[in-house]
Amino acid sequence: MIFMPADSELPEGYPRDLEGEFDLRDGRNVLIRPILPADVDDLTEAIAHADSETLLHRFFTAAPHLSEKQIHYLAEVDYRRRLALVAADGEGQGVAVARYECHSNCNVAEVAVAVAPEWRTGGLATELLRRLEEPARKNGFSELDAVYLPENRAIAGVFERLGYSEQRIEDGVALVSKTLA
Protein backbone atom coordinates (compact mmCIF):
# COMPACT_ATOMS: atom_id res chain seq x y z
CA MET A 1 0.00 0.00 0.00
CA ILE A 2 1.26 3.44 -0.93
CA PHE A 3 1.31 5.65 2.15
CA MET A 4 2.39 9.10 3.21
CA PRO A 5 5.60 8.62 5.18
CA ALA A 6 6.35 10.17 8.56
CA ASP A 7 9.37 12.46 8.57
CA SER A 8 11.34 9.84 10.53
CA GLU A 9 10.83 7.31 7.67
CA LEU A 10 12.18 9.54 4.91
CA PRO A 11 15.47 8.78 3.17
CA GLU A 12 18.02 11.52 2.75
CA GLY A 13 17.09 13.99 0.04
CA TYR A 14 13.40 13.00 -0.09
CA PRO A 15 11.60 15.95 -1.74
CA ARG A 16 8.48 16.37 0.40
CA ASP A 17 7.50 19.33 -1.80
CA LEU A 18 6.65 16.88 -4.61
CA GLU A 19 3.84 15.31 -2.59
CA GLY A 20 0.33 16.28 -3.59
CA GLU A 21 -3.01 15.30 -5.01
CA PHE A 22 -4.38 15.32 -8.52
CA ASP A 23 -7.96 15.20 -9.78
CA LEU A 24 -8.40 13.21 -12.98
CA ARG A 25 -10.76 14.43 -15.71
CA ASP A 26 -13.35 11.87 -14.59
CA GLY A 27 -13.36 13.21 -11.02
CA ARG A 28 -11.26 10.51 -9.39
CA ASN A 29 -8.45 11.67 -7.14
CA VAL A 30 -4.96 10.27 -6.64
CA LEU A 31 -2.20 10.96 -4.17
CA ILE A 32 1.20 11.58 -5.79
CA ARG A 33 4.53 11.36 -3.97
CA PRO A 34 8.16 10.44 -4.62
CA ILE A 35 8.90 6.73 -4.49
CA LEU A 36 10.41 5.27 -1.32
CA PRO A 37 12.62 2.23 -0.79
CA ALA A 38 9.70 0.82 1.23
CA ASP A 39 7.67 0.69 -2.01
CA VAL A 40 9.74 -2.22 -3.32
CA ASP A 41 7.10 -4.83 -2.39
CA ASP A 42 4.29 -2.81 -4.00
CA LEU A 43 6.40 -2.33 -7.12
CA THR A 44 7.19 -6.05 -7.28
CA GLU A 45 3.47 -6.84 -6.93
CA ALA A 46 2.46 -4.27 -9.56
CA ILE A 47 4.90 -5.67 -12.12
CA ALA A 48 3.87 -9.25 -11.33
CA HIS A 49 0.18 -8.46 -11.90
CA ALA A 50 0.41 -5.90 -14.70
CA ASP A 51 -1.31 -6.67 -17.97
CA SER A 52 0.89 -7.62 -20.91
CA GLU A 53 0.19 -4.37 -22.79
CA THR A 54 1.41 -2.26 -19.87
CA LEU A 55 4.54 -4.37 -19.55
CA LEU A 56 5.20 -4.27 -23.28
CA HIS A 57 4.87 -0.49 -23.41
CA ARG A 58 7.05 0.04 -20.33
CA PHE A 59 9.73 -2.67 -20.71
CA PHE A 60 9.39 -3.51 -24.45
CA THR A 61 8.54 -7.09 -23.48
CA ALA A 62 5.26 -8.55 -22.24
CA ALA A 63 7.06 -10.70 -19.68
CA PRO A 64 10.05 -8.91 -18.16
CA HIS A 65 12.23 -10.98 -15.87
CA LEU A 66 13.39 -8.42 -13.35
CA SER A 67 15.67 -9.60 -10.59
CA GLU A 68 15.22 -8.54 -6.99
CA LYS A 69 18.24 -6.28 -7.47
CA GLN A 70 16.60 -4.60 -10.48
CA ILE A 71 13.34 -4.04 -8.58
CA HIS A 72 15.28 -2.46 -5.71
CA TYR A 73 17.08 -0.26 -8.24
CA LEU A 74 13.70 1.00 -9.47
CA ALA A 75 12.45 1.74 -5.93
CA GLU A 76 15.65 3.23 -4.51
CA VAL A 77 16.44 6.57 -6.09
CA ASP A 78 18.61 9.52 -5.08
CA TYR A 79 15.85 12.10 -5.84
CA ARG A 80 18.29 14.15 -7.94
CA ARG A 81 19.82 12.18 -10.81
CA ARG A 82 17.12 9.49 -10.50
CA LEU A 83 13.60 10.39 -9.42
CA ALA A 84 10.31 8.47 -9.52
CA LEU A 85 6.81 9.59 -8.59
CA VAL A 86 4.09 7.14 -7.62
CA ALA A 87 0.33 7.71 -7.71
CA ALA A 88 -2.15 5.89 -5.48
CA ASP A 89 -5.93 5.73 -5.29
CA GLY A 90 -7.98 6.54 -2.18
CA GLU A 91 -7.29 3.12 -0.67
CA GLY A 92 -3.54 3.53 -1.11
CA GLN A 93 -3.31 1.15 -4.07
CA GLY A 94 -0.60 2.17 -6.53
CA VAL A 95 -1.99 3.04 -9.96
CA ALA A 96 0.93 4.71 -11.77
CA VAL A 97 4.63 5.47 -11.67
CA ALA A 98 6.73 7.92 -13.66
CA ARG A 99 10.46 8.49 -13.51
CA TYR A 100 13.45 10.21 -14.93
CA GLU A 101 16.95 8.88 -14.94
CA CYS A 102 20.28 10.41 -15.92
CA HIS A 103 21.70 9.35 -19.28
CA SER A 104 25.38 8.79 -19.88
CA ASN A 105 25.21 12.45 -20.92
CA CYS A 106 24.18 13.75 -17.52
CA ASN A 107 22.57 16.91 -18.87
CA VAL A 108 19.84 14.69 -20.31
CA ALA A 109 17.41 12.47 -18.44
CA GLU A 110 15.19 9.79 -19.90
CA VAL A 111 11.56 9.74 -18.73
CA ALA A 112 9.17 6.82 -18.57
CA VAL A 113 5.65 6.32 -17.25
CA ALA A 114 3.31 3.41 -16.61
CA VAL A 115 -0.37 3.74 -15.69
CA ALA A 116 -2.75 0.93 -14.80
CA PRO A 117 -5.30 0.43 -17.64
CA GLU A 118 -8.32 1.50 -15.60
CA TRP A 119 -6.59 4.79 -14.74
CA ARG A 120 -5.69 5.81 -18.29
CA THR A 121 -7.26 8.64 -20.32
CA GLY A 122 -7.79 10.82 -17.22
CA GLY A 123 -4.63 12.88 -17.60
CA LEU A 124 -2.55 11.00 -15.01
CA ALA A 125 0.42 10.18 -17.27
CA THR A 126 0.53 13.78 -18.48
CA GLU A 127 0.42 15.10 -14.92
CA LEU A 128 3.13 12.78 -13.63
CA LEU A 129 5.48 13.63 -16.48
CA ARG A 130 4.71 17.35 -16.06
CA ARG A 131 5.56 17.07 -12.35
CA LEU A 132 8.97 15.62 -13.19
CA GLU A 133 10.01 18.63 -15.28
CA GLU A 134 10.72 21.17 -12.54
CA PRO A 135 12.76 18.80 -10.35
CA ALA A 136 14.71 17.73 -13.43
CA ARG A 137 15.44 21.37 -14.27
CA LYS A 138 16.42 22.17 -10.65
CA ASN A 139 18.72 19.14 -10.61
CA GLY A 140 20.69 20.31 -13.62
CA PHE A 141 19.05 18.60 -16.59
CA SER A 142 18.65 20.67 -19.73
CA GLU A 143 16.69 18.08 -21.70
CA LEU A 144 14.30 15.19 -21.20
CA ASP A 145 13.88 12.42 -23.70
CA ALA A 146 11.77 9.32 -24.04
CA VAL A 147 11.81 6.08 -25.99
CA TYR A 148 8.60 4.17 -26.70
CA LEU A 149 7.06 1.77 -29.16
CA PRO A 150 5.75 3.64 -32.22
CA GLU A 151 2.36 1.94 -32.02
CA ASN A 152 1.77 3.40 -28.55
CA ARG A 153 -0.32 6.32 -29.82
CA ALA A 154 -1.58 7.19 -26.34
CA ILE A 155 1.88 8.03 -25.00
CA ALA A 156 2.77 9.78 -28.25
CA GLY A 157 -0.20 12.08 -27.58
CA VAL A 158 0.97 12.70 -24.02
CA PHE A 159 4.41 13.75 -25.19
CA GLU A 160 2.90 15.95 -27.90
CA ARG A 161 0.67 17.72 -25.33
CA LEU A 162 3.72 18.29 -23.12
CA GLY A 163 5.65 19.97 -25.93
CA TYR A 164 8.13 17.23 -26.78
CA SER A 165 9.67 17.14 -30.25
CA GLU A 166 8.06 15.37 -33.14
CA GLN A 167 8.85 11.68 -32.89
CA ARG A 168 11.62 10.14 -34.93
CA ILE A 169 11.91 6.41 -35.47
CA GLU A 170 15.27 4.71 -34.95
CA ASP A 171 15.83 0.97 -34.79
CA GLY A 172 12.11 0.34 -34.50
CA VAL A 173 11.46 2.65 -31.53
CA ALA A 174 10.11 6.18 -31.32
CA LEU A 175 12.23 8.89 -29.74
CA VAL A 176 11.13 12.32 -28.54
CA SER A 177 12.82 15.04 -26.54
CA LYS A 178 12.07 18.30 -24.77
CA THR A 179 14.41 21.12 -23.91
CA LEU A 180 13.86 22.41 -20.38
CA ALA A 181 13.79 26.20 -20.19
- Of the chain, the percentage scoring pLDDT greater than 70 comes to 92
Indicate the pairing of strand 82-88 with strand 20-23.
unpaired
Position 13 scores a pLDDT of: 92
Domains of the chain: residue spans and CATH: 7-179 (3.40.630.30)
**What span, in angstroms and rounded, lies between the C-alpha atoms of 102 and 105?**
7
Mean pLDDT on 20-25 = 95
SS3 labels along 37-75: HHHHHHHHHHHHHCCHHHHHHHHCCCCCCCCHHHHHHHH
The pLDDT tens digits of the residues spanning 101-151 come to 997 768 999 999 999 999 999 999 999 999 999 999 999 999 999 999 999
The pLDDT tens digits of the residues spanning 69-93 come to 988 989 999 999 999 999 999 898 8
pLDDT band at 1 (very low <50, low <70, confident <90, very high): low
Mean pLDDT on 15-32 = 95
pLDDT band at 45 (very low <50, low <70, confident <90, very high): confident
Closest to 85 measured CA to CA, from 140, 180, 17? 17
- Of the chain, the percentage scoring pLDDT greater than 90 comes to 71
Mean pLDDT across the chain: 90
3-state secondary structure of 4: coil
Measured over the CA atoms of residue 71, residue 4, residue 109 and residue 82, the dihedral's sign is: negative
pTM of the shown model: 0.90
